[in-house]
Structure 1
Amino acid sequence: MARTPVAEHEGRVRALLAPLRTRGAETVPVSAALGRVLAASVASPIALPPFRNSQMDGFAVRSSDIVPGVSLPIAGEIAAAAGTPAPLVAGTAVRIMTGAPLPEGADAVVPVEDTVTSEGSTVTIASAWSHGSYVREVGSDLAAGAELLPGGVRLASRHLAALAAAGLTEVVVESRVRVAVISTGSELVAPGDLLGPGQISDSNGTALVAAARDVAAEIVFEGRVVDDRAAFEALLEAALAADAELVLTSGGISQGEYEVVREALEPRGALVDVLAMQPGGPQAIASFQGIPVICFPGNPVSSQLSFLLFVEPVLREIAGLPDRIRVTRVLDAPVTSVAGKRQFLRGLALPDGKVATLGGASSHLVAALAAADVLLDIPEDTTELPAGATVETWEL
């Protein structure tokens, strides 16, 4: 049986998902923007910091008043709190806390470690301190109107902190796809449930939900269903009711009996095929009430690699994320491959630029995939490669 090249199926998936790639950016609260990608650069509406303040707990002074060993009367105390402090009188010092606003007239802060106080009324300063010592000037971090974050950055906690510091509550980010994930198979139980004879934990659901979220998709529906066509169709209806724009399924598309996804979707025009790849040969694409459905094999490694190959690149593009990194490495040992199949082997990147294979080619070896940090991409016309040959790898 002739098998379809991987590149041809990639094109099919991209064509099916093309409408999702035309949407514009959206505005979201900063509190909900973690992991999203900025659609455009963001300028700070205020200077950071917005007022002169103390970098240390200590004493605000006029530097011209300070010589080693000088004693000054303590004229008051300034806490890190709202308000404007009274101006500093020449020849005095004011106790000040970290982050507190500097009084007018003060141009330096003496750390408490360099002082000795007497009865709380005077302070003796051991060393000389120059203008600007331990003073945070207005805009010393960023000037008002300057770029706070560049477009294209994926927002981490440090970026959200900067946005909050600038007083921003909303941000414009690239759109993300609303995804539903459905696992099929009468043998599946929820992870953590007691396994009976012939049962396995559903790892596909966990993997596909996590993989979609990792490329900024929003999971709006998760489901698991036995090999029953009516039950599967009911879950598809539920996914659409949850406003899913894309449905991902695992299992039920092979050539045997109880292929529930195939039974439900092939009469609706689904394209069910076998690709020239290992693992992950069986693949299908469909449309259910106008919503694209991408169908992966049930074997867990096949399901995960299928997402990586066919769906992840499109979701990355929509979310504004860069492509997965590919690096050419050198084989540390010979590799054999199946004629006519593009093979994806699990591997470990070695410090010297080499790569070692890990585990076998079987599609059930989830522990080996978890231990891997790269995939070796072996072309379909290659049956063996000697140690020292170069191979393209995908970083996991």
Structure 2
Amino acid sequence: MTSAPTDATATPSGPPARPPLMPLDEALARVLAQATPALEPEWVSTFEADGRVLARDVASGLAVPPLDNSAMDGYAVHAADCAAPGAELGVAQRIAAGSVGTPLAPGSAARIFTGAPVPPGADAVVMQEETQALAEGACVRIQVAVKAGQCIRKAGEDVARGAVILRRGERLTPAGIGLAAGVGLDRLAVARRPRVALLQTGDELVTPGTVAPQDMQPGMIYNSNRFFLRALLQRLGCAVVDQGVVPDDRAATTEALRAAAADCDVLLTSGGVSVGEEDHVKPAVRELGALDLWSIAIKPGKPFACGHVRRADGSAAHFIGLPGNPVSSFITFLLLVRPFLLRLQGVVDVALPTLSMRADFQLGRPDKRREFLRVRRNAEGGLDLFPNQGSGVLTSMHWADGLVDHPAGSTIATGDLVRFIPLSELLA
């Protein structure tokens, strides 16, 4: 990501003046502007394509179904022979799925099974339950009046020959994979997986499993961000290069970033990006490339950094720095990093999915920042608010099934309609 630095500048009176808070929509537009060009395509097995982003349109080389076929087990007939209940017809042939019958003569029926092609001449299928077999199956009595076209799936009614069934830039789902397979495609062109280096800094961070809880020293904390960020990246189809915890040392930080940039598309860190805070990531990124620090007008998640780290060949890896508080890190990832990584893979529509829902809580204190409140749907069709909305309370993210996108400077009264963002779609 290339952008001009926006650090605080000195004022005539002395102390640096902090830049105004940047609106989220502006920050997102700036981030997405850096996600071009999209990653190059690669071919993968259709079996392995779930969640991948298509790099080109997929058109069908055949009609689906290729022939008119029976929607159920029963008898193929001429509708004119069965205009009234009680018609008795000779059974001239038996057609199973995978076989093709011969033309059906008037006054006769064909025993047919679900999915089998309807024989030429037949224009209706009567379900087995509406018939009675006679003469040990040699004849059949049609017990209902038959209408032309009933119980027949027409050729091409699912997919027309030449139709585009999947679009470039869409994330493949199980249904999409089934569509591709249904027109005979065993390989698909998809965007290459982004390689994302995940780096953590801070001598206070402890990796779970290395120190027992009872042996933790004062001031030390377990590194939860590394775990949920890795999981979020993997859900977005990224190949994660986990660099672990980098020591709080300028030379070590610079070398870790340099090495990661050589092999990765994106470098992602959490912590140490608050304006004015001293840490080794900011000077290391500036030494190797460029860094932009933003204070975004959202709560939680105000501090955010982006930039790039140059490689030896002159190209660059994107850099993104998230805030260190776990909820702030989690939410800024969803709001900014997720759409960036999707756009990098070629996804066009990266807008937040929102629903209008009823608030079964009140929020009487307006905030100057746009808030993202952790909520959960209740049995009455409304939303409950987690009682502690602190940026360090990761319990709130585990408890919640969505976020309320709450505008700055406003309050919420019980019964108000609010913008609900379901986490199920963001985490899919």
- TM category (shorter chain) comes to 0.7 to 0.9
Cα gap change, 1:239/1:57 in structure 2, threshold over 3 Å: closer, same or farther?
farther
The equivalent position to 1:314 in structure 2, one of 319, 333, 340, is 340
Separation in 2 of the partners of 1:8 and 1:128?
Answer: 67
Matched, 1:364 2:392: yes
- The letter of the residue matching 1:109 is V
CA contact (8 A) 1:378 1:391 kept: no
Cα deviation, 1:30-52, whole Å, max 9, x if unaligned, reads 44543455567654332221112
1:313-370 residue CA offsets vs partner (Å, 9 max, x unmatched): 4345442123225789998331154xxx736352448899998754445321112234
Change in Cα spacing, 1:21 to 1:79, as seen in structure 2 (3 Å) is same
CA distance in 2 between counterparts of 1:328 and 1:2 reads 39
Are 2:217 and 1:189 equivalent residues in the alignment?
Answer: no
Distance 1:136 1:386 in 2: 52
Any idea what the Cα deviations from partners look like across 1:159-215, whole Å, max 9, x if unmatched?
A: 33223222344556677744332334453325899645436554323433444456x
Query: Displacement of 1:236 after TM fit?
Result: 3.9
2:325 is aligned with 1:299: yes
- SS at 1:208 equivalent: helix
C-alpha change, 1:115 and 1:234, in structure 2 (3 Å) is: farther
What corresponds to 2:363 in structure 1? 333
Q: Percent of aligned positions with the same letter in both sequences?
A: 34
Alpha-carbon RMSD = 4.4
TM-score normalised to structure 1 length = 0.75
Amino acid at match of 2:78: R
Q: Distance in 2 between matches of 1:96 and 1:166?
A: 24
TM-score under structure 2 length normalisation:
0.70
2:351 aligned residue: 323
Of 130-139 and 166-175, deviating more is 166-175
CA distance in 2, matches of 1:361, 1:3: 26
Find the counterpart in structure 2 of residue 96 from structure 1.
Answer: 112
8 A contact 1:37–1:155 mirrored in 2? yes
The one of 140, 143, 148 aligned to 2:165:
148
Distance of 2:370 and 2:191 partners within structure 1: 34
In 2, are the aligned partners of 1:253 and 1:260 still within 8 Å (CA)?
Answer: no
Name the residue aligned to 2:229.
208
Q: Which moved more, 1:318-327 or 1:264-273?
A: 264-273
| Corresponding residue of 2:149 | 132
Match of residue 261 from structure 1: 281
SS of the residue corresponding to residue 267 of structure 2 reads strand
Distance 1:263 1:194, change over 3 A: farther
What is the SS of the residue equivalent to 1:298?
Answer: coil
Aligned-pair CA distance for 1:4: 3.5
SS of 1:344's equivalent in the other structure is: strand
CA distance in 1, matches of 2:25, 2:243: 26
Q: What does 1:1-396 align with in structure 2 at a 5 Å threshold?
A: 2-7=17-22, 18=33, 20-23=35-38, 26=41, 28-29=43-44, 30-36=46-52, 42-66=58-82, 68-81=85-98, 83-117=99-133, 118-149=135-166, 153-169=170-186, 177-185=194-202, 186-190=204-208, 195=213, 197-198=215-216, 201-212=222-233, 216=236, 218-225=238-245, 227-229=247-249, 236=257, 239-240=260-261, 243-253=263-273, 259=279, 261-262=281-282, 264-265=284-285, 267-268=287-288, 271=291, 275=295, 278-288=299-309, 289=311, 290-318=316-344, 319-325=347-353, 332-337=362-367, 342=369, 344-348=371-375, 358-372=386-400, 373-377=402-406, 379=408, 395=421
Post-superposition offset of 1:298: 2.1
After TM superposition, give the deviation of residue 90 of structure 1 in Å.
Answer: 4.2
2:426 aligns with none
Paired residue type of 2:162: G
| Structure 2 spans left out of the alignment, 5+ residues | 1-15, 424-428
Q: Which amino acid aligns with 2:207?
A: V
SS at match of 2:165: strand
